[in-house]
Chain A
Amino acid sequence: MRVKVAVETSVLIASSLYIVSKELRSTKIAKDPHYDRAIKLTLKLRRSVRQRVGVYTGRIARQARNTVRDAARRCLDREGCKPQNVSIILNHCSDRLERILETLVLEPIEQSDKDRLFTQVIQMYTLLLQRSSLVTDQTIRSLAQAKANQTASPHFRRIQADIQQRQIGRDLRQLYNLKANPPETSDYEILAEVVALRESYVTEAPTQLLLASTDSSHFSPIRYADGTVSDQVTKQIEETFHIKCDWPDTIADMLPEPGDQTES
């Protein structure tokens, strides 16, 4: 089966910043694992450029370019900021972003497909938001208590309920985050475009489409250091639209080494 990776804005931005930070010899950014995760995928996709594995959409590119420009504008709001310095930073972050985009394929999307899928995406998130509204401290406490009552002897029920409460809170973290940060229109649009892409790909050949993102409220699962995950939103996206969302470094590990993959 052919594999394609749609690269979301957050990954493009983090990779661009990482490269500029290396050029400027910034130790602060080079040490931040957030950027490391993104660059791992970007470099792998660059090596796979002939296989045309990495893709993006017009909406993703616009959002990425605007993110860099808006950040420059915010710098200028600060007193004492020198326009010359901001001009250099804007130039080189934009250049890096453009060089990364050149290693990916810009896919056209039919507007009617996007409009149709936009509605379906909103419906899916609306259902998820309804589910997330049930995730309150009180319901988590009640669930934990009920579980403790079933599994622990009366003497240990209180301790067991505390443990269960933490566990359930961790398990449902993605839904909880979704409630705290409801998706924005741009998130709906990006997912609708990616789903439209998948529909178009599968008419050509069996294709698995992965969405690389560091947004763990709306797309990628929350991955804990002990290997467990919270992925109610991610699973729903996969069940509804057959799009697998994950962190860029995880997706990089899933991809075959360049040259191993044969185009269908």
Chain B
Amino acid sequence: MVARVPSDLLSELAHIGSAISGMVEYGKIDALVTDRLSRVVESIEKKEEEWRNRASAMPEGTFAAYHAWRNLRLVACKMQNRFLKALGKHENPTTAVDSLKVFPAFFEVCAGLCEMEGRKWSGEDELAMLSRITDLRNIAYHANMLPSLDEELREVSRREVLSEFERFAAGIRVDQHASKSRGRN
């Protein structure tokens, strides 16, 4: 049984959301936001780990949930790092503005995951979640709130990812050949 989402996660996010709006309005970064983000990252990490452990069994939706929690953690960590750096550099609120752009999509993924807690995932739920993650990553990319591939690769073995990627690419080609004979003689 997966532990429930910490009840304070969404309210913590709501606090961060309004704090960021205030920072944008007053043009000044509030140092407290990094502590709040740190608590959020911690909660998300726990959920990510639970779902990663479950992912080996692979019931429907498990991967989508794991993938979503993992992406939330990546974006939240990036946001936290940017706030830390911004405080050190006494940066004007560019970081707050970028965070504000990402926040609605971030909140939407998180709220979607909370809503699915304890429920069975359908294929449609999984697809909807993957679309939300794509939306979040698109916004985060343009707001410079996304870790690079190299940063993501620090958590895993590059060689393993490369082998998996080559199988992934070969799978797409085989699939296209099988159904469409996409070739050039």
Instruction: Please encode chain B, from 91 to 106, with 1 for each CB lying within 8 Å of some chain A CB and 0 for all others.
Output: 0000000000000000
Q: Contact between B162 and A26 (Cβ–Cβ < 8 Å)?
A: yes
Interface size class, chain B: 35 or more
Q: Contact between A29 and B166 (Cβ–Cβ < 8 Å)?
A: yes
Q: Contact between A13 and B184 (Cβ–Cβ < 8 Å)?
A: no
Q: Contact between B176 and A26 (Cβ–Cβ < 8 Å)?
A: no
A19–B79 alpha-carbon span in the complex (Å): 26
Q: Is the CB of A164 closer than 8 A to any CB of chain B? A: no
Given contacts A89-B161, A98-B138, contact A83 B185 (CB under 8 A): no
Q: Contact between A26 and B166 (Cβ–Cβ < 8 Å)?
A: yes
Contact of B156 among A28, A65, A88 (CB under 8 A): A88
Instruction: Please encode chain A, from 180 to 220, with 1 for each CB lying within 8 Å of some chain B CB and 0 for all others.
Output: 11001001000000000000000000000000001111100
- Point out the residues of chain A lying under 8 angstroms from B52, CB to CB: 83-84
B-side interface residues toward A, CB under 8 Å? 52, 55-56, 58, 63, 66-67, 70-71, 127, 130-131, 134, 137-138, 141, 146, 149, 152-153, 155-156, 158, 160-162, 164-169, 171-173, 175-176, 179-185
Write 26 A-B pairs (CB below 8 A) sorted by A numbering.
Answer: A10-B180, A21-B169, A24-B161, A24-B165, A26-B166, A37-B184, A69-B130, A70-B175, A71-B172, A75-B167, A83-B56, A83-B67, A88-B152, A89-B161, A91-B137, A94-B134, A98-B134, A98-B138, A173-B185, A177-B181, A187-B180, A214-B182, A215-B176, A215-B180, A217-B182, A222-B184
**Top 5 closest pairs, chain A to chain B, by CB:** A83-B55, A85-B164, A217-B181, A181-B181, A215-B182
